[in-house]
């Protein structure tokens, strides 16, 4: 902590852009400091916190603290109370750095406003707002979802992740579009491999304190938590292929034939990887346009053979 206030790094970015991967890298980069991690998952059952713990078993041993908030965006009025509770919790823990991983559909515009209105501006200093951009989904969604533009406008630094998944021409077009939207520094990379030296090199200059977040209960997307047994991994693969393009994000843990699997879409397909026992409820969180909820729920019943 560089002063009496707790330094906050807010990590924003659309669903699947790689925020948890970047947070892993930040933990490794700044792990000699006392860290606080406030992880916001949009789904009913938080997944990212369990993933971080399994990837970094030394976190809890080193005295670092993790606080998880699920089922929405921390900047929406529907989650204001648990968000404030989480901030007040970290005020008592006094970490040197507090990383806040906002959900992929969070608009961080009101972060400073929240601190000011609730008397927390003397406890926390927003050091950096870092926005991740997914070059795979960006072009199709930036003109459809206001929250992506808001995440870019709020940023002090933009990290274009997953650059290995797009041709150079598409990446060049994306960088040109970002240049028209913001004048902040932009780094490109893959797998969360960036130069994080900027994190402590000054204070945030992009606090849009006068703006309300566009996150409201009315703007929430469709959200499903799919549970139940599947006959085989092939059935799971068939399901993931069938809902491609109908969802914003799919992730979670499923046990099939006695084997725990972590499932995640990546913008161009999906990955299914072996996982350790998670300690959380098994199932898939699916975020999608509201009009697709019933379609995806029906497909899940179909692949499970449920009437």
pLDDT in the model for residue 95: 93
Give the mean pLDDT of the chain.
85
DSSP lists the bridge partners of residue 66 as 37
b/e burial code for range 70-86 (CB count within 10 A of at least 16 → b): bbbbbbbeebeebbbeb
Q: What is the pTM of this model?
A: 0.81
Q: Are residues 87 and 11 in the same domain?
A: yes
Domain endpoint, select from 218, 246, 281:
218
Q: Are residues 120 and 240 in the same domain?
A: no
Q: Are residues 167 and 94 in the same domain?
A: yes
With respect to residue 247, please indicate whether it lies within any of the assigned structural domains: yes
| Vertex 155 angle, CA 81 and 20, to 5° | 65
DSSP 100-122: EE--TT--GGGHHHHHHHTT-TT
CATH of the domain at 86: 3.40.50.300
pLDDT in tens, 129-151: 999 999 988 988 888 788 899 99
Which candidate, 286, 301, 283, 304, places its Cα nearest to that of 224? 286
With respect to residue 44, please indicate whether it lies within any of the assigned structural domains: yes
Cβ neighbours of residue 227 closer than 8 Å, sequence gap 6 or more: 281, 282, 283
With respect to residue 285, please indicate whether it lies within any of the assigned structural domains: yes
Structural domain span for residue 291: 221-304
b/e burial code for range 93-119 (CB count within 10 A of at least 16 → b): eebebbbbbbbbbbbbbbbbbbbeeee
With respect to residue 209, please indicate whether it lies within any of the assigned structural domains: yes
Contact 100, 112 (CB under 8 A): no
Q: Are residues 158 and 178 in the same domain?
A: yes
Q: Are residues 39 and 120 in the same domain?
A: yes
Q: Are residues 168 and 279 in the same domain?
A: no
Q: Are residues 162 and 270 in the same domain?
A: no
Domain endpoint, select from 154, 187, 218:
218
Q: Are residues 201 and 236 in the same domain?
A: no
With respect to residue 12, please indicate whether it lies within any of the assigned structural domains: yes
Beta strands in 110-238 (DSSP E): 124-133, 157-160, 186-188, 222-226
Question: Cα separations (Å) of 283 from 44, 239, 250, 280?
Answer: 10, 14, 10, 9
Q: Are residues 129 and 260 in the same domain?
A: no
Q: Are residues 151 and 13 in the same domain?
A: yes
Would you state the structure tokens that stand for residue 148, as one six-digit string? Answer: 């992506």
Would you state the structure tokens that stand for residue 28, as one six-digit string? Answer: 């490794």
Q: Are residues 106 and 204 in the same domain?
A: yes
With respect to residue 98, please indicate whether it lies within any of the assigned structural domains: yes
With respect to residue 1, please indicate whether it lies within any of the assigned structural domains: no
With respect to residue 89, please indicate whether it lies within any of the assigned structural domains: yes
Task: Report the helix count and the strand count for the chain, using DSSP H and E.
Answer: 10, 12
CATH of the domain at 289: 3.30.1220.10
Handedness of CA 125, 128, 132, 133 (dihedral sign): positive
pLDDT in tens, 204-236: 665 554 567 787 777 778 889 999 999 999 999
Which candidate, 229, 225, 228, places its Cα nearest to that of 296? 225
Spans of the chain below 70 pLDDT: 1-3, 43-63, 204-211, 266-268, 277-279, 307
Q: Are residues 114 and 241 in the same domain?
A: no
Domain count for the chain, please give it: 2
């Amino acid at each position: 902590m560089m002063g009496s206030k707790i330094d906050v790094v807010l990590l924003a970015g659309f669903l699947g852009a790689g925020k948890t991967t970047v947070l892993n890298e930040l933990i490794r980069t700044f792990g000699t400091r006392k860290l606080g991690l406030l992880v916001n998952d949009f789904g009913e059952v938080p997944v990212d916190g369990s993933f971080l713990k399994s990837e970094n078993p030394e976190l809890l041993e080193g005295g670092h603290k993790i606080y998880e908030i699920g089922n929405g965006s921390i900047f929406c009025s529907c989650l204001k109370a648990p968000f404030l509770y989480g901030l007040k919790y970290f005020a008592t823990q006094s970490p040197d750095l507090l990383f806040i991983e906002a959900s992929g559909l969070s608009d961080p515009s009101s972060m400073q406003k929240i601190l000011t209105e609730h008397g927390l501006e003397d406890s926390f200093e927003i050091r950096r707002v870092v926005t991740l951009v997914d070059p795979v989904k960006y072009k199709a969604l930036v003109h459809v979802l206001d929250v992506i533009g808001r995440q870019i406008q709020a940023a002090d630094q933009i990290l274009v992740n997953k650059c290995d998944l797009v041709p150079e021409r598409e990446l060049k077009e994306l960088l040109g579009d970002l240049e028209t939207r913001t004048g902040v520094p932009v780094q490109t990379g893959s797998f969360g491999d960036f130069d994080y030296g900027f994190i402590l090199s000054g204070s945030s200059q992009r606090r849009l304190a006068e703006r309300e977040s566009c996150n409201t209960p009315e703007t929430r997307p469709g959200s499903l938590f799919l549970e139940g047994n599947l006959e085989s991994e092939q059935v799971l693969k068939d399901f993931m292929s069938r809902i491609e393009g109908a969802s914003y994000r799919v992730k979670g843990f499923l046990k099939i034939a006695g084997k725990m699997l972590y499932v995640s879409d990546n913008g161009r397909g999906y990955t299914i990887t072996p996982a350790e026992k998670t300690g959380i409820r098994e199932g898939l969180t699916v975020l999608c346009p509201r009009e697709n909820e019933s379609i995806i729920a029906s497909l899940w019943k179909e692949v499970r053979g449920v009437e």
